Amino acid sequence: MALIVKKSDCLFSLNESENIHLGENKQLETEKVGIYYAQLEPGQKLKKHMHNRPQNGDEIFFFYMPCRIRLGFEKEGIFTEEILDIKEPTHIIIGQKEHHSIKNIGDEALEFEVLCAPKFMPGEVVLKE
């Protein structure tokens, strides 16, 4: 049976510890993956953090609309930031225990999907700032 879940089916709330609005719907979770919608207002920044999961896993950001972001990520053990002008659907894959951050440096609210595999578990986020 196909399951159809729209963004409008999700309940959005501010995750204050990471400073991001997340839209959740339990129908978008399985044992292996969790899918969430995320929103950042202009100037809003997802705080630098990493995920300490009992199982290795990835966090994947799917930007499906044009936007301008400042992506913070680890490159060869050094945290760096890069400005990205995203013009087409784009995935950014963050590996296990890699610190990362995202700042919306565009003029409009930014929406994107976050895929966590395995699914997100409370207590796994470790803030760096």
pLDDT in tens, 18-37: 999 999 998 888 878 899 99
Check: CATH 2.60.120.10 for 28-127? yes
* Sequence-distant (≥ 6) Cβ neighbours of residue 8 within 8 angstroms: none
**pLDDT at residue 4, as a whole number:** 86
- d(CA 41, CA 25) in angstroms, rounded, equals 21
**pLDDT at residue 2, as a whole number:** 84
Identify residue 11 by its one-letter amino acid code.
L
Q: Domain coordinates of the chain in residue numbers?
A: 28-127
Give the mean pLDDT of 41-65. Answer: 90
* Sequence-distant (≥ 6) Cβ neighbours of residue 50 within 8 angstroms: 97, 98, 99, 100, 125, 126, 128
For residue 129, name the pLDDT band (cuts at 50, 70, 90).
low
This prediction's pTM: 0.88
